[in-house]
Chain A
Amino acid sequence: MSSVAVTKKKGVGAVIWDYLTTVDHKKLAVLYLFSGLLFFAIAGFEALLMRIQLMFPNSDFISAGTFNELLTMHGTTMLFLAATPLLFAFMNMVVPLQIGARDVAFPFLNSLGFWLFFLGATFLHLSFFMGGAPDAGWTSYASLSLYSPGHGIDFYVLGLQISGAGTLISAINFIVTIITMRAPGMTFMRLPLFTWTTLISSTLILFAFPPLTVGLFLMLVDRMFDANFFDHTMGGNTIIWEHLFWIFGHPEVYILILPAFGLFSEIIPVFARKRLFGYSSMVFATILIGFLGFMVWAHHMFTVGLGATANAIFAIATMAIAVPTGMKVFNWILTIWGGSIKVTVPMIYALGFIPSFVAGGVTGVMQATAPLDYQLHDSYFIVAHFHYVIVGGIVTAIFASFHFYWPLLFNRALNEKLGYLTFWIFFTGFHLTFFVQHFLGLMGMPRRVFTYMEGQGWDLFNFISSIGAIMMAVGVLLMVVNMLLSIKSKPVNCRDYWGDGRSLEWAIQTPIPFYNFKQLPLIRGFDAYWIEKQEGNTEGMTYAEPLGDIHMPNNSILPFIMSLGLFIAAFGALYHPDGVSWSIPVMVIGLGITVLAMIIRSVKDDLGYHLHKEEILAIEEELYGKGGNN
């Protein structure tokens, strides 16, 4: 175990076993990355099918029922199972390196969080093959979902419950890591901005996921045991679901956009070659956005009929969020302003992000105006707005970070030329798809319709929109091709791949050893690596401790087994209302596996192991040649 030879070839079985049991934050980042990418591709394909259906009026490419399933799964998958894990991949990879930690606070929980997410997501996607996917929209409003036949909604409820638990566990892990595992000298106001946004968005997850859990649980009880929480004919109230969902759902969009902001706040200073403008105001704005994110949920429900007072208050609160967001936008512009700008693939994504996101923000403020929202509600204008924010903000951040952090993740670089081509195709496709949807919305085209009649003036714009969607699909394919090509490219084997890295993660020589830092660094200010570089320190960091034994966690298969138990139990729960005889035994077996794994984890002491000085020196020599990392 401790004498791991990093470059040695391993068999396929050994590699799979290694990834099933790993607790290393870098390997879990890779797992998050590829599973996120898989679900991103699936959800993107669903979107493509929908756009092909809507390309021409009166099209019968797919049926209305299938269309509902596709739109539900597209939204659910993109938000819960694609954007979240892709951002978690970068959080896992970068945050411990940025704060100077050897791993996250709870490596075991990190692994458990991933496997819960992955098996929950797999469970949700099995619905396609097992009698129909959920079809009540990603918001799954109770007045639709309670009456949805088949097991689609049950898949939604159980799958999200399992993967939501994983997300919550990971978030708690990040919070504890950032608070307790900072290297000596890394004060809160020296944290890189991506770490700050990770902290705040993990806090949002901590406060926002419990309402979702409660909502899903009530839905489960309503559907499985004929309870009446949401059934108005029996004294329930369908609006309760909407409140619970949006109390979670609005913070959820900030959970996704804040790390994206953080990623751009890392990318822009590196390529503007200038310190981030207004660091403390950026931190303040992040916290403020996080806090206000909880105060605005009812703006999704303006047309429910809460009354003028409620609508007015939530409208004002919503508009207030534009202030801290605007602060951020101006700070990015002022960071670029006067900088010695180097245009690279991550930077061009950042430059494309700013105007696209602002466009999405402006339409957001328009919708915050409650009277106008009565006109825009449930029209394609809404679709255009949130895709501008999500694709223009989050997806560009993720694509930029693929290029930006690929050298850290895999010790390879993605191709620049192909990167530019991908950017232009994807970016053009994105604006082509969603810009015209604003006008479709204003012309009265409702969202979530599977087809429309010709001669309403919608034909051309829908056609343009579909062409854009095909371009976006080509862009994503090129991105994947670029990743595959990088396998064959030369290892970069260097420190500070971009040459202008500022924060601590760039101070480490790639390939990064599994213990990250042979000696913990001493942080002497914001932009820790930049300070060392300016003082001519070739090792990239000042050390806070002498070379000594390192305490590392053991690998474990238990997280996978625990998650698998819940995955099995979910099938029992799903088919229980059908009155099948095997449902209860399956639930008992599944939960039994989980509980047994938990008992083993509690009873069996796992104290980890020590990596000795001599072994560290040997690994360093094997990675970086004679003399090690000096």
Chain B
Amino acid sequence: MSHDTEIQGRSQAEYEFGRRKSAEKMRKQVINFAIMIFLTFIAFATVVADFAPTFIKPIILLLAGIQVVLQLYSFMHMDEKEAPYIGVISTFVWVGAIIAFTFFLAFNTIIWW
């Protein structure tokens, strides 16, 4: 806490470890990006292939849900367990999602049924 604290530079080993970690993260991002593109492709494909609407609708909604989670965890860094206050951040995001979902549910079921 004190501002007199000494700051040490990183050693060679730490530097290399950091580089390896960053490379791993980059690889994960690219893989997730590919998965998301693929999921989008499936969504379009089901529509183009002219399946029954009762099949297309739940599939698209399911894919959308997966996309949201991937987006939050991969690109918005919610998967970084070491990040400061990540627990609080996740709580906020999910509570917000639950509240928003309740509105959606309420409107669809009991208000404009």
Binding site for B on A (CB under 8 A): 179-180, 184, 203, 206-207, 243, 247, 291, 294-295, 298, 306-307, 309-310, 313, 520, 544-546, 548-551, 610
Does B7 sit at the interface, judged by CB under 8 A? no
In the assembled complex, the Cα of A307 lies from the Cα of B106 at a distance in Å of: 13
Minimal beta-carbon separation of B47 from chain A (angstroms): 27
A545 in contact with B92 given A295-B102, A306-B110 (CB within 8 Å): no
Identify B3's interface contact among A206, A207, A310, A549, CB under 8 A: A549
Find chain A residues with CB under 8 A from B96 CB.
Answer: 206-207
Minimal beta-carbon separation of A502 from chain B (angstroms): 24
In the assembled complex, the Cα of A551 lies from the Cα of B2 at a distance in Å of: 10
Are B1 and A544 interface neighbours, CB within 8 A? yes
B68-113 interface with A by 8 A CB criterion: 84-85, 88, 92, 95-96, 99, 102-103, 106-107, 110-111, 113
* Closest B residue to A295 using CB positions: B102
Are B1 and A184 interface neighbours, CB within 8 A? yes
Are A546 and B110 interface neighbours, CB within 8 A? no
30 of the cross-chain contacts (CB-CB < 8 Å) are A180-B84, A180-B85, A184-B1, A203-B92, A203-B95, A206-B96, A207-B95, A207-B99, A243-B107, A247-B103, A291-B95, A294-B99, A294-B102, A298-B106, A306-B110, A306-B111, A307-B110, A307-B113, A309-B113, A310-B106, A310-B110, A310-B111, A545-B2, A546-B2, A546-B4, A548-B4, A549-B3, A549-B4, A550-B3, A551-B3
Find chain B residues with CB under 8 A from A306 CB.
Answer: 110-111
Minimal beta-carbon separation of B34 from chain A (angstroms): 33
Are B1 and A520 interface neighbours, CB within 8 A? yes
Give the size range of B's interface with the partner: 10 to 19
Mark B1-24 against chain A: 1 for CB-CB distance below 8 A, else 0. 111100000000000000000000
Minimal beta-carbon separation of B74 from chain A (angstroms): 24
In the assembled complex, the Cα of A309 lies from the Cα of B109 at a distance in Å of: 10
Identify B111's interface contact among A203, A207, A298, A544, CB under 8 A: A298
Find chain B residues with CB under 8 A from A203 CB.
Answer: 92, 95
Find chain B residues with CB under 8 A from A206 CB.
Answer: 92, 96
Find chain B residues with CB under 8 A from A610 CB.
Answer: 3
Minimal beta-carbon separation of B12 from chain A (angstroms): 30
In the assembled complex, the Cα of A549 lies from the Cα of B5 at a distance in Å of: 11
In the assembled complex, the Cα of A247 lies from the Cα of B111 at a distance in Å of: 13
Find chain B residues with CB under 8 A from A548 CB.
Answer: 2-4
Minimal beta-carbon separation of B98 from chain A (angstroms): 9
Find chain B residues with CB under 8 A from A309 CB.
Answer: 110, 113
* Closest A residue to B84 using CB positions: A180
Find chain B residues with CB under 8 A from A247 CB.
Answer: 103
In the assembled complex, the Cα of A313 lies from the Cα of B106 at a distance in Å of: 10
List of 6 A-B pairs having minimum Cβ-Cβ separation, nearest first: A310-B110, A545-B1, A545-B2, A548-B2, A549-B3, A548-B3
In the assembled complex, the Cα of A184 lies from the Cα of B2 at a distance in Å of: 12
In the assembled complex, the Cα of A548 lies from the Cα of B1 at a distance in Å of: 10
In the assembled complex, the Cα of A546 lies from the Cα of B4 at a distance in Å of: 9
* Closest B residue to A251 using CB positions: B99
Minimal beta-carbon separation of B1 from chain A (angstroms): 4
Find chain A residues with CB under 8 A from B2 CB.
Answer: 545-546, 548
In the assembled complex, the Cα of A550 lies from the Cα of B4 at a distance in Å of: 10
In the assembled complex, the Cα of A295 lies from the Cα of B101 at a distance in Å of: 11
Are B88 and A179 interface neighbours, CB within 8 A? yes
In the assembled complex, the Cα of A179 lies from the Cα of B110 at a distance in Å of: 37
In the assembled complex, the Cα of A179 lies from the Cα of B92 at a distance in Å of: 12
In the assembled complex, the Cα of A184 lies from the Cα of B110 at a distance in Å of: 48
In the assembled complex, the Cα of A294 lies from the Cα of B102 at a distance in Å of: 9
Minimal beta-carbon separation of B18 from chain A (angstroms): 24
Minimal beta-carbon separation of A456 from chain B (angstroms): 37
Identify A179's interface contact among B1, B85, B106, CB under 8 A: B85
B16-72 interface with A by 8 A CB criterion: none
* Closest A residue to B89 using CB positions: A179
Minimal beta-carbon separation of B66 from chain A (angstroms): 24
In the assembled complex, the Cα of A243 lies from the Cα of B103 at a distance in Å of: 10
In the assembled complex, the Cα of A247 lies from the Cα of B113 at a distance in Å of: 18
Find chain A residues with CB under 8 A from B1 CB.
Answer: 184, 520, 544-545
Minimal beta-carbon separation of A621 from chain B (angstroms): 21
Find chain A residues with CB under 8 A from B111 CB.
Answer: 243, 298, 306, 310
In the assembled complex, the Cα of A202 lies from the Cα of B110 at a distance in Å of: 29
In the assembled complex, the Cα of A201 lies from the Cα of B99 at a distance in Å of: 15
Find chain A residues with CB under 8 A from B103 CB.
Answer: 247
Find chain A residues with CB under 8 A from B106 CB.
Answer: 298, 310
* Closest A residue to B1 using CB positions: A545
Q: Supply 8 further A-B pairs (C-beta < 8 A) apart from A207-B96, A544-B1.
A: A243-B111, A247-B103, A294-B102, A306-B110, A306-B111, A310-B106, A545-B1, A548-B4
Find chain A residues with CB under 8 A from B113 CB.
Answer: 307, 309
Minimal beta-carbon separation of B69 from chain A (angstroms): 20
In the assembled complex, the Cα of A296 lies from the Cα of B86 at a distance in Å of: 30
Find chain B residues with CB under 8 A from A243 CB.
Answer: 107, 111
In the assembled complex, the Cα of A553 lies from the Cα of B71 at a distance in Å of: 35
In the assembled complex, the Cα of A487 lies from the Cα of B55 at a distance in Å of: 74
In the assembled complex, the Cα of A294 lies from the Cα of B92 at a distance in Å of: 15
Find chain B residues with CB under 8 A from A298 CB.
Answer: 106, 111
Find chain A residues with CB under 8 A from B99 CB.
Answer: 207, 291, 294
Find chain A residues with CB under 8 A from B102 CB.
Answer: 294-295
In the assembled complex, the Cα of A180 lies from the Cα of B83 at a distance in Å of: 13
Find chain B residues with CB under 8 A from A184 CB.
Answer: 1
In the assembled complex, the Cα of A310 lies from the Cα of B107 at a distance in Å of: 10
In the assembled complex, the Cα of A291 lies from the Cα of B107 at a distance in Å of: 18
In the assembled complex, the Cα of A180 lies from the Cα of B88 at a distance in Å of: 10
* Closest B residue to A287 using CB positions: B95
